[in-house]
Amino acid sequence: MWIASFNGNRLGVVEGDTIADVTTALDAIPPQTWPLSFGDPLYRYLDAVVARASELLPDAPRSPISDIVLNSPVRTPSKIIAAPVNYKKHLDEARDDVEINRGAHVRTIDELGVFLKSSTSVIGAGETIRLPFDGRRIDHEIELAAIIGREGKSISRDDALEHVAGYAIGLDMSVRGTEDRSWRKSHDTFTVIGPWLVTADELPDVSNLDFSLSVNGSERQNSNTSMMIWDVAKLIEYASATYTIYPGDIIMTGTPEGVSPVGPGDVLECRIEKIGEMTVNVR
Ligand code: MN
């Protein structure tokens, strides 16, 4: 199932160019009481919501996707776990470009491990990336995003994909500079997740997906997930050895070569095979 969040508080199922409104399927989520669980309750109760959505689908009202505003299919992740330099050619370009490396030695993912982005940086495809200041280079990074569906700690590589609810396109917007990644990549609107969630049962293998990003119609990034240095399972194994992962947590799997600066008015067209396409505006 392709599950979308839209128009602020609506839940939809995507069918081709239309979206079916199944918002009342959210009634399958039990009332929340304090203290709340970490994460996004949609993902903690996703199986029940999907079952209810399937029942509602035949009679659900439909709209063209072009008529609605897409929000992130994950709204309240407890954390966003991100892989630095997880594609060899991006490592090479970072080492070659002083605007990216600022004269510092660029380390590998084996040396760096993973980092966290602020959970409040998330927006959807229909929202707008807002550049926080002039005069700093801010780059696009297209990445496969894995969304966690099942809580876990110290998850083995063999079990890792059983904890994934599904996948989406991710944008890891990044200020270049010497500050820590957790600051450079955590500004409000700097994590775009969309256009929707493709549930893992429909996408059991993400190890060989073409993906690309264009800025104002000019292609900048074009790669394949087979070029990842640490795959999704390894990222989950590594991250969950440190912190419990919760339903709705986002794994940003790293970007390939071709990162470049964006400015106000730019339009980013993002595509991942078998997930879809999203067009995101920058202001
Ligand atoms: Mn990144």
pLDDT tens, position by position, 212-252: 999 999 999 999 999 999 999 999 999 999 999 999 999 99
Q: How far is the CA of 24 from the centre of ligand 1 (A)?
A: 35
Q: How far is the CA of 142 from the centre of ligand 1 (A)?
A: 7
Cβ neighbours of 189 (radius 10 Å): 20
Structure tokens at 205: 């293998």
Q: What share of the chain is helix, strand, coil (3-state, %, to 5)?
A: 25, 35, 40
The C-alpha R_g of the chain, in whole angstroms, comes to: 18
pLDDT on residue 134: 84
- Write the pLDDT tens digit of every residue in 95-150: 999 988 988 888 899 999 999 999 999 999 999 999 998 889 999 999 999 999 99
- pTM for this model (two decimals): 0.97
- Write the pLDDT tens digit of every residue in 193-204: 999 999 999 999
Residue 38: pLDDT band with limits 50, 70, 90: very high
Q: Which residue has the tokens 């087979």?
A: 226
Beta bridge partners of 14: 19
Q: Which residue has the tokens 């079916």?
A: 20
Q: How far is the CA of 243 from the centre of ligand 1 (A)?
A: 20
Q: How far is the CA of 60 from the centre of ligand 1 (A)?
A: 37
Q: Can you give the length of the chain in residues?
A: 283
Residue 83: pLDDT band with limits 50, 70, 90: very high
pLDDT on residue 23: 98
Q: How far is the CA of 260 from the centre of ligand 1 (A)?
A: 12
- Write the pLDDT tens digit of every residue in 174-192: 999 999 999 999 999 999 9
- Write the pLDDT tens digit of every residue in 159-169: 999 999 999 99
Q: How far is the CA of 254 from the centre of ligand 1 (A)?
A: 5
User: Residue 66 above 90 pLDDT?
Assistant: yes
User: Residue 63 above 90 pLDDT?
Assistant: yes
The answer to whether the beta carbons of residues 5 and 13 sit under 8 Å apart is: no
Q: How far is the CA of 255 from the centre of ligand 1 (A)?
A: 5
